A = this chain, B = another copy of it.
Amino acid sequence: MDKERKAHLEARARVLKAMAHPSRLLIIEELEKTERCVCELTEMIGADISTVSKHLSVLRQAGIVADDKRGNQVYYRLRIPCMLKFFDCVESVLESQAGARVACLAGGCR
């Protein structure tokens, strides 16, 4: 395989891998709505704050979120505003599993 192609595939995989966790998806969904500090996200997720901090670190290193320290709180926001659209196709995979393969073909993942 082409070296450049390989590097590109690896880069894409890193981003997807960073997203591929329920708590991190929740974070992304919430940050779609508005920025949040770590303790707010921690409360939504219901895990140890250190765990949430590490999830945020994964997302930051992948370039998905950015942080912003204000006072003694750290606010996180999405760096890329199109994450929700990004999910359309994931949804159609899920719908197809449920037998409703129609949605995507009908334009659900445009």
Contacts and interface: CB of A to CB of B under 8 A. Distances in A.
Interface in A10-27: 10-13, 15-17, 19-26
A62 interface: yes
Scoring A6, A15, A96 by chain B CB atoms within 10 A of each residue's CB, the highest score goes to A15
A94 interface: yes
A44 B92 CA distance: 27
Interface residues of A, number: 48
A3 to B, nearest CB: 12
Contacts of A20: 13, 16-17, 19-20
A46 B23 CA distance: 34
A2 to B, nearest CB: 10
Given A16-B19, A19-B16, A85 B110 contact: yes
